[in-house]
A and B are shown apart, each in its own frame.
Chain A
C-alpha cells in the first residue's frame, strides 16, 4: 500500500514539474535565441535605439517599447474606471440574484477570442475614428479602447473578489455609525481592498501588454514613435507576430530579443502583482 502511495506521489510530482519545466524551457529558448543579437547590438542601442530596419541591420525597439507602454496606459485609462464602477456595483450594491447573472456574463467577455475584438475594432471603431477625429483610424486610440474592453473581465472579477474578502463586520460597523452605503464603500471597503484592486489592475496591465492579435488589427503597426493618440503604433507583441513569418537569421534573433524585453516587462508586472497581493 505504501509503495503504491509513493508511486502516485512521484508520478504527480513529475507531472507538476513538467509544467514548470516547460516554462523553464521557454525561458531558456528565447534567451538563447535572442540574447546574442542584444549583446551584439549593445543593450542600450537595442532598447534606446528608435531605428528598426532588421533586414538592413538596424535593431532599435524604443518606439515599440514606448508604444506598448502608451497602449497599455490608454487601456487602463479606458478600462479601469469602467471596471471599478462595475466591480463596486456588483460587490456592494446589486442584489445577489443580479450578481449571480452579471458576474459570469462579464467573465464571458474573457472567452471571446481576441481576433473577434480586433475585427469589431476594424469594422466599427476604426472608421468612426477616421471620419470624426481624422488620421488613418488605425491608431493608438483604437488599440487603447479595444484593450480597455479586453481587460475588463480580469480587473472586474479580481476586484470583486478583493471587495468580497473585506469582512462584513466592518461594513456593519460603518453603517451602524451612521455612514451611508456609498460612504462605507469609499472610505472603508475600497481602502481595505486596495491591495487586491491594485493586483487586479496590474494583472489587467499584463493582459493588455501581452495582447497581440487585436492590436495588430487596429493599431496600424507603423514604426515611428507616436506623437498623438491618432498616430499608428506598433507594440512589442505585434512586432514579433507581424514579422516572424518572414524573418530569418539576425532578423529572427532580433524578434526573439523583442520577446526577451516583453518577457522581462511581464515578469516585473507579475512579480509586482504577487508582491502587492501578499502584502496586506
Chain B
C-alpha cells in the first residue's frame, strides 16, 4: 500500500501545474482590454494620473502603467511587451524607426535644501559642480562645507537630458552620489542641507528649493516661453502609427482635457 501513495500526489501536482498554466494563458485573452504603458520614471506619475482619469471615462478598460526607465520602455515597445513606451529622452539609432508623439515639455529643476541661501546659479557653475571641480559651498560664497552632489544613474532619461543640457560633453564626477529615481533624489536633498541635485520640474514640492538658472526660475511660463535653459520633451513611443487603444489613449493625452491635466500636474503642454 505504501508504494501507491506517491502516485496520487504526483497526479495532483501535475493537475496543479496545468491549472497554473491555463490561468497564465487565460490572462492573455483579456489583453485586448488592457493597455500597457512602460518606461521613464519621470513620465510614470503623469501617465498614472492620465490613465486614472481615462479609465474612469472608459469603464472596462485597464491601463497598466509601469516604470523601469526610458530604455526599458522603448525596448518593451520593440519587443511588443507594451503598447506604449514612455520616454523622457530623445530616441537614437535603431530606436528612430519607432513612432514618437510629444506629449508634454518638462523642465529639469536644480534643487537644494530649503535652508540653503542660494537662489540662482549659472550654467557654468552648475557644470563645474557636477564635474567635481567645485566641491565646497565656500566657492559659491556660502558657509564652507563639503557639497553633496546627487545625480541619477547612467542611462536615466533625466540624467541624459541633464548631461546634454548642462555638461557640454564633460562627465559627471564619479564621486557624485547616484540615486535611481527622481523621488529618491528629492528625498535626500530634502533632508541634507548640503546636497544639490536635479529632478523633473513637475516633481518639485515644498520640501526642496528649485534654483533659478541664469536668473530664470523653472516656472511653467518660463519653460513655455523657452526662457528656462533646462527643458526636455516627454514622448509616447509606439511601434507604428498608433492604432486602437493606444491611438485612443494618445488622442486623449493630446486633447485639451489631457493637456490641462498635465499642466495641472506641473508639466508644460504642447499646444
Contact between B70 and A246, CB atoms less than 8 A apart: yes
Whether B178 pairs with A242 at a CB distance below 8 angstroms is yes
Contact B156 A246 (CB under 8 A): yes
CB of B171 within 8 A of CB of A56, answer yes
Write out the residue numbers on chain B whose beta carbons fall within 8 Å of the beta carbon of A232.
175, 177
A245 beta carbon closer than 8 Å to chain B: yes
Whether A251 lies near B154 (C-beta < 8 A) is yes
- Cβ proximity bits B149-188 to A, threshold 8 Å, 1 near / 0 not: 0000111110010000000000101111111100000011
Cα–Cα distance between A1 and B173 once the two chains are bound (Å): 72
Q: Are A246 and B155 in contact (CB under 8 A)?
A: yes
Instruction: Report which of B7, B70, B177 forms a contact with A136, defined as CB distance below 8 A.
Output: B177
Contact A53 B3 (CB under 8 A): no
User: Can you list, as one digit per residue, whether each of B7-29 has a CB less than 8 Å from chain A (1) or not (0)?
Assistant: 10010000000000000000000
Give complex CA distance A134, B157 in Å: 31
Q: Is the CB of B154 within 8 A of A127?
A: no
- A49 CB to closest chain B CB (Å) equals 12
Counting CB contacts under 8 A, is A164 at the interface? no
CA distance A247 to B70 in the complex (A): 9
Q: How far is the CA of A232 from the CA of B151 in the complex (A)?
A: 13
With contacts defined as CB atoms under 8 Å apart, how many contacts are there between chain A and chain B in the complex? 92
Are A234 and B72 closer than 8 Å at their CB atoms? no
* Contact indicator A130/B10 (Cβ below 8 Å): no
Number of interface residues of B (CB under 8 A): 36
Chain B binding site: helix, strand, loop or mixed by DSSP?
mixed
Q: Is A180 in contact with chain B by the CB < 8 A criterion?
A: no
The B-contacting residues of A in range 244-277, CB under 8 angstroms, are: 245-248, 251
B195/A245 in contact, CB under 8 A = no
A246-B154 contact given A5-B3, A53-B171, CB 8 Å threshold: yes
Return A260 CB to nearest CB of chain B, in Å: 19
In contact, A222 and B3 (Cβ under 8 angstroms): no
Cα–Cα, bound, A220→B4 (Å): 58
Whether A247 pairs with B177 at a CB distance below 8 angstroms is no
Which B residues lie within 8 Å of A130 (CB)?
A: 192
- Out of B155, B180, B194, name the residue touching A55 (CB < 8 Å): B155
Whether B174 and A222, one on each chain, are in contact in the complex, defined by CB atoms closer than 8 angstroms, is yes
Interchain CB contact (< 8 A) of A246 among B4, B153, B177? B153
Q: Is the beta-carbon distance between A1 and B155 smaller than 8 angstroms?
A: no
Min CB gap A29→B, angstroms: 17
Residue B148 is within 8 A (CB to CB) of chain A in the complex:
yes
Interface residues of A in 23-75 (CB under 8 A from B): 51-56, 63
A51 to B195, CA, bound (A): 24
Q: Across the interface, do A242 and B153 meet the contact criterion of CB distance under 8 Å?
A: yes
Q: A4-B3, A5-B3, A8-B6 are in contact. Are A242 and B192 (CB under 8 A)?
A: no
Q: Which of A127, A216, A234, A245 contacts B69 (CB 8 A)?
A: A245
Docked-complex contact A248 and B75, CB < 8 angstroms: yes
Shortest Cβ gap from A101 to chain B (Å): 35
| A11 lies within 8 A of chain B by Cβ | yes
Q: Mark A230-247, 1 if CB is under 8 A from B, else 0.
A: 011010000001110111
A124-138 contacts to B, CB under 8 A, are 127, 130, 134-138
Q: Would you give the shortest CB distance from A46 to chain B, in whole angstroms?
A: 16
Interface membership of B71, Cβ < 8 A: yes
Question: Quick check: is A201 within 8 A (CB to CB) of the other chain?
Answer: no
* A221 B154 Cβ-Cβ under 8 A: no
- B71 contacts A222, CB within 8 Å? no
B174 engages A224 (CB within 8 Å): yes
Cα of A247 to Cα of B7 in the assembled complex, Å: 47
Contact of B153 among A11, A51, A136, A243 (CB under 8 A): A243
Interface core residue of A54, A222, A231, A245 (most chain B CB under 10 Å) = A245
Question: Which chain B residues border A234 with CB–CB below 8 Å?
Answer: 178
Query: CB within 8 A of B178: which of A4, A134, A223, A248?
Result: A223
7 contacts between A and B (CB under 8 A): A8-B10, A53-B171, A134-B146, A223-B176, A223-B178, A231-B175, A251-B154
A52-B174, A138-B177, A246-B70 known; 20 new pairs, CB 8 Å cut-off, are A55-B154, A55-B160, A56-B171, A63-B174, A127-B191, A130-B192, A134-B146, A136-B148, A220-B177, A222-B174, A222-B176, A224-B174, A232-B175, A234-B178, A242-B178, A242-B180, A245-B72, A246-B72, A246-B157, A248-B75
